[in-house]
A and B are shown apart, each in its own frame.
Chain A
C-alpha cells in the first residue's frame, strides 16, 4: 500500500494517483503495480435524443404541409393564392418557435421569434392593406411586448441582483412602455403626441420603483422585510 507524498493519506491499491491532489503513485518497491479499480469502467448514461434530427423532421413535415396547402389552393382557386398564404406564414412562424429547443442562447431565440412575429404580422398587414396601422400601432406594441420578454428573461437570469432591485427595474420598464403605448395610440388617432394618461400613471409607478431601488441597497431594511415575510 502506498502513501500520497503530498497529502499524507494512505492510498487504496486501486489508486493510480491520489484522488485528493492528483499526485501520481510511484512505489519503487513494486515493479508492476496492480491497480485493480474498485468500480467498473461502464458508464451509466441516458441515450440522448438527437434534437437537431428531430427538429429537421418537424421542419420537413411543415414544408410538406405548406406545399400541399399551396397546391390545393392553386387548384381550387384556379391559379390564385388565397387562404394558403395564412397557412404558409403560420407554418414559417411555428418553425421559428422550434428555435427555443435547439438554440442554447435564449436571447438569440427571442430575436429570431421577434423577427418571425413581425414578418407574420407584416404579411397579414400587406394582404389586408393596413401597413400604415401596422407601422403606427402594431409594430410599437409588439416591440413593447418583446421588450417585456427580454427584460423578464434578463432579470430572471441575473442572480447577483436582489429581488427588490429586479422589481424596480421591471417597474421602470413599465413606465417607458406606457409612454410608448400612448405615443403609438396618439399616432394612429393623429392627436397630440404629448403624453397625458401615461404621465399620470407613471408617477406612482416611478415613486414605487424608486423606493424599491433605494431600499434594495439597504441590507437592514431587506433583513427586516425578510423577517416579517418569513414563512
Chain B
C-alpha cells in the first residue's frame, strides 16, 4: 500500500468515525445492565464447562439425515399466563421447546454447544456451530481461519470436521436447507451452497447482505436495495428479482424468515412504542404484526413452527408467538449460557 493510500485510509476512517453524533447512553445502559444482572441471578448455579471437544480435520462422507428417537428432557410448554420457564441444563440431554422443535444448540463468545442426535446429548466446541434442522450434520464455522466445515455426528460419533474447499468470508451465519442436506454461506468471492458430502458446490453471485433460502429450497435470495435477487440453488444462475415494498421503517434483516406458505416474512420493524422488534409482514396485504415480548426485543433469529406460530430467540429468552402477536410461551436460557454475552441459539426439528 502506498503512502498516499495509507494516509487516505486513516483520513477516511477518521472522517467516518466523525460522522456519528455521540449520545450519552449511561441511563439506558444502567437499566439494561440491571436487567442482565437480574436475569443472571435467577435460577443460576455455577455450571463449569466440560472440556471443549476437539474438532480435527478429516474428509468423510456426510451421512445426512438419520432418523433417531431421542430421549428428551421434559420441558412442558408453559401456559401463556405464567412467567418464563427455566430451561434445564444442557447436560440433561436434548431439550424440547414445543412440539416438533428441540434446542439444537447455542453459540456464544466462549464457545458453542450443539446437539449430537446419535448420542442424544449436547456437545461442546470452540467453533461456531449450526446444526442442520434435520439429520446429523452440523456446520462448523472457524471464524479465526475463515473456513467452513461440516461435522457428521452420524459418522461413528467422532469429532471429525470436513473442512470445505470453498472458504467462508467469516461475516455471516450459515444457513441449512430445510431438509438439512445443503449448506448456504457467503464465500469470499461467491455465495456458496455445499452439498453431497461437501464435494459439490454451487456458486451464486456474491451477496453483500446475508443470503437466505427461499421456501422449497430450490432458490436462494440475496437482499438488495430494492428487494431480493433470486438465483437457482442448483445452477447458481440468477433467475428473477423480487421487488419488496417493505413497511415504512422496516428492513429485511439478515435473518429474515419465510413462513412455510411463503406468504409472510419475519422482518425487523417496530411496535407501537417505536421499539425495534421482529414483525410478521404479510406480503400480499402489507399488514404487520409486531412480536413484542416482556423481556426485551433484541430478537435475532426467528423460526416458523407452523403457519400460525413463530419461535423468536430474544435478548434474554426464547419466546413462542402466535401469528397474532400474542405470546404463547416463554423460556429462559439454560444455565450454561447465563453469563454469556448474547448467545445465539439454534432450533432443530425433532
**Chain A bound to chain B:** no
Residues of chain B touching chain A, judged by Cβ–Cβ distance below 8 Å, are none
